[in-house]
């Protein structure tokens, strides 16, 4: 916007860049304008070359699609005069401002949804899955020990109690070999990875748009953190619940 105002005052683009860089020296925009002005003053480049030169262009230090598009608009409109370039840049600045307002409004509207998705990624999904694994392990342990006790009871039944032995034999068949907890843990772990992966892509798409670098960074962080949390919680809960199961079965047998 300031660059457009300077061009609107009738200043050449080379001088306008220098004036704006001096006015806002400690901002990213000011540093970009300073780099363009330096290329013009010290390397004798024109505005287009100072921005887009493949070796020294300022755009190399600021790889932004928005900056690149805005500077292309400036270069093309400057060929028709400073007033046309000024109006074009002012229109671009208004568009960016309105786009920013819309983006902030959308973030406000989706704040609760995003917060819920983030909590599922970082906490709820691995914690709930770890507890489910612990409960499954406890139930499996209890059923396994009950099956063993019934088997012992069956073998100790005397021949005179043949009917009771038959009933015990039928009951022991209910406690057949179930799926080991290890396999169930792998299945639930795969579910955790899928949920975290999908939700991370959705959250990054809402917050950062089509930013692959940010998406890969978030996926790496979230998948690593959630997997470690899930494994640790599963181990701790399985140990605790198996101890409880052992005490329950032991007390029942005693």
> 22-31, 134-143, 188-197: which range is least confident on average?
22-31
Tell me the C-alpha distance between 30 and 128, whole Å: 49
Region 56-80: mean pLDDT is: 77
Residues 6+ apart with CB under 8 A from 211: 204
Max mean pLDDT among 22-31, 210-219, 242-251 falls in 210-219
120 and 170 belong to one structural domain: yes
What pLDDT was estimated at residue 159?
Answer: 45
**Could you report the per-residue pLDDT of 203-228, keeping only the tens digit for each?**
888 777 777 888 888 888 888 988 89
Tell me the C-alpha distance between 152 and 178, whole Å: 19
Q: Containing domain of residue 74, as a range? A: 2-106
Average pLDDT for the chain: 75
Of 190, 52, 199, the closest CA to residue 121 belongs to 199
Tell me the C-alpha distance between 101 and 138, whole Å: 53
43 and 168 belong to one structural domain: no
Residues 6+ apart with CB under 8 A from 236: 130, 134
119 and 174 belong to one structural domain: yes
Domain closes at, from 73, 106, 139: 106
The alpha carbon torsion through 93, 98, 102, 105 (nearest 10 deg) reads 100
148 against 103, higher pLDDT: 103
Q: Which two tokens stand for residue 247?
A: 């005490």
Per residue, the 3-state secondary structure of 173-219, as one string, reads HHHCCCCCHHHHHHHHHHHHHHHHHHHHHHHHHHHHCCCHHHHHHHH
Tell me the C-alpha distance between 124 and 149, whole Å: 37
The widest CA-to-CA distance across the chain, in whole angstroms, is: 115
- pLDDT above 90 covers a percentage of the chain that reads 0
From residue 48, how far is each of 25, 81, 89, 94 by CA, in Å? 22, 14, 15, 23
97 and 138 belong to one structural domain: no
Q: How many CB atoms lie within 10 A of CB 29?
A: 15
8-state DSSP, 254:
-
Q: Is the pLDDT of residue 165 over 60?
A: no
168 and 75 belong to one structural domain: no
197 and 245 belong to one structural domain: yes
What pLDDT was estimated at residue 9?
Answer: 61
**Could you report the per-residue pLDDT of 180-197, keeping only the tens digit for each?**
777 778 888 888 888 889
Max mean pLDDT among 144-158, 160-174, 238-252 falls in 238-252
92 and 131 belong to one structural domain: no
What pLDDT was estimated at residue 160?
Answer: 46
What pLDDT was estimated at residue 36?
Answer: 77
The alpha carbon torsion through 85, 89, 95, 96 (nearest 10 deg) reads 150
Domain count, the chain: 2
211 and 174 belong to one structural domain: yes
Q: Is the pLDDT of residue 27 over 50?
A: yes
Domain closes at, from 72, 106, 140: 106
Asked if residues 24 and 30 have their Cβ atoms less than 8 Å apart, the reply is yes
125 and 246 belong to one structural domain: yes
Q: Which two tokens stand for residue 23?
A: 């006015």
Max mean pLDDT among 81-95, 138-152, 159-173 falls in 81-95
212 and 130 belong to one structural domain: yes
Q: Is the pLDDT of residue 179 over 70?
A: no
């Amino acid at each position: 916007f300031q660059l457009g105002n300077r061009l609107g005052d009738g200043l050449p683009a080379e001088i306008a860049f220098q004036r704006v860089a001096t006015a806002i020296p400690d901002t990213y925009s000011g540093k970009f304008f300073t780099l363009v002005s330096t290329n013009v003053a010290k390397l004798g480049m024109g505005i287009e070359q100072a921005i887009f030169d493949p070796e020294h262009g300022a755009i190399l230090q600021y790889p932004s699609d928005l900056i690149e598009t805005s500077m292309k608009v400036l270069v093309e409109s400057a060929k028709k005069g400073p007033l046309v370039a000024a109006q074009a840049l002012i229109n671009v600045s208004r568009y960016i401002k309105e786009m920013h307002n819309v983006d902030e409004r959308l973030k406000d509207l989706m704040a609760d949804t995003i917060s819920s998705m983030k909590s599922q990624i970082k906490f709820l999904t691995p914690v709930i899955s770890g507890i489910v694994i612990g409960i499954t392990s406890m139930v499996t342990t209890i059923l396994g020990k009950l099956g063993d006790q019934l088997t012992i009871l069956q073998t100790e039944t005397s021949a005179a109690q043949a009917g009771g032995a038959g009933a015990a034999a039928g009951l022991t068949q209910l406690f057949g070999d179930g799926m080991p907890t290890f396999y169930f843990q792998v299945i639930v772990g795969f579910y955790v990875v899928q949920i975290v992966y999908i939700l991370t892509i959705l959250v990054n798409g809402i917050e950062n748009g089509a930013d692959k670098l940010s998406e890969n960074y978030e996926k790496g962080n979230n998948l690593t953190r959630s997997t470690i949390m899930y494994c640790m919680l599963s181990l701790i809960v399985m140990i605790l619940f198996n101890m409880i199961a052992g005490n329950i079965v032991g007390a029942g047998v005693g």
